[in-house]
Amino acid sequence: MVSLSTWCRYIAHKFEYSVSLSWKNYKRGQITDTEVGDAIWKNLFQGRLTYLHWNKGQEMVPTIREQGGTLLVRKLPVADPVYVKVGDVVVLKDPAKSDNYLVRRLAAVEGYEMVSTDEKDESFVLEKDECWVLADNENLKAKEANDSRIFGPVPMSDIVGRVIYCLQTAVDHGPVQNSDYSMRKDAAVLEVELDVDEMARNHKA
Residues contacting 69, CB < 8 A, separation 6+: 54, 55, 56, 166, 167, 168
Q: What would the mean pLDDT of 141-166 be, rounded to a whole number?
A: 95
Statement to judge: residues 35 and 95 lie in one domain: no
Give Rg (Cα) of the chain. Answer: 18
59 is annotated as an active-site residue:
yes
pLDDT at residue 170, rounded to an integer: 84
Q: Higher pLDDT residue, 14 or 170?
A: 14
pLDDT at residue 71, rounded to an integer: 97
Q: What is the CATH number of the domain that holds 128?
A: 2.10.109.10
Statement to judge: residues 28 and 58 lie in one domain: no
Phi and psi, residue 189, nearest 5°: -60, -45
First to last CA, the chain: 30
Q: What would the mean pLDDT of 132-150 be, rounded to a whole number?
A: 95
Q: Which of 14-18, 19-23, 100-104 has the highest mean pLDDT?
A: 100-104
Statement to judge: residues 31 and 85 lie in one domain: no
Judged against a pLDDT cut of 70, whether residue 140 lies above it is answered with yes
pLDDT at residue 82, rounded to an integer: 87
Question: 38-71, pLDDT tens digit by residue?
Answer: 888 888 887 899 999 999 999 999 999 999 999 9
Statement to judge: residues 193 and 93 lie in one domain: yes
Q: What would the mean pLDDT of 141-159 be, rounded to a whole number?
A: 94
Least confident residue range of 48-52, 106-110, 198-202 = 198-202
Statement to judge: residues 161 and 187 lie in one domain: yes
Domain with 111, as residue range(s), is 49-202
Q: What would the mean pLDDT of 62-82 be, rounded to a whole number?
A: 92
Judged against a pLDDT cut of 90, whether residue 33 lies above it is answered with no
The pairing of strands 89-93 and 101-109 is: antiparallel
What residues are paired with 93 via a beta bridge?
A: 101
CA 10 to chain CA mean position, Å: 18
pLDDT at residue 204, rounded to an integer: 75
Q: Helices in 84-164 by DSSP H: which ranges? A: 142-145, 148-151
Statement to judge: residues 43 and 111 lie in one domain: no
The answer to whether 14 and 49 are in contact (CB under 8 A) is yes
Mean pLDDT score of the chain: 93
Residues contacting 188, CB < 8 A, separation 6+: 6, 7, 9, 10, 13
pLDDT at residue 47, rounded to an integer: 81
Statement to judge: residues 55 and 37 lie in one domain: no
Statement to judge: residues 171 and 120 lie in one domain: yes
pLDDT at residue 205, rounded to an integer: 60
Q: Say which of 9, 65, 104, 162 is annotated catalytic.
A: 104
104 is annotated as an active-site residue:
yes
pTM value > 0.85: yes
Q: Helices in the chain by DSSP H: which ranges? A: 4-27, 36-45, 142-145, 148-151, 180-193, 196-202
